[in-house]
Amino acid sequence: MKLGPQQQAVYHYLKEHPASTIREIRDALHIMKPDMRISEINFAYRQAGHNEDLIINVGKNKYREVLKSLRKPLTKFTSQVEIINGVAVERRVEVPA
97 belongs to a structural domain: no
pLDDT by residue (tens digit) across 51-82?
999 999 999 998 999 999 999 888 888 888 98
Per the domain annotation, does 84 fall within a domain?
Answer: no
pLDDT at residue 33, as a whole number? 92
Distance (Å) of CA 61 to CA 12, 36, 48, 58, 88: 21, 21, 31, 10, 54
Check which CATH number belongs to the domain holding 65 and give it: 1.10.10.10
Output the pTM of the full model: 0.79
Q: What is the mean pLDDT of the chain?
A: 91
Asked if the structure places residue 10 within a domain, the reply is yes
User: 21 is in which domain, residue-wise?
Assistant: 5-72
User: For residue 24, what is the DSSP state?
Assistant: H
In a domain, 22, yes or no: yes
Residue 96 has pLDDT above 90, yes or no: no
How many structural domains compose the chain?
Answer: 1
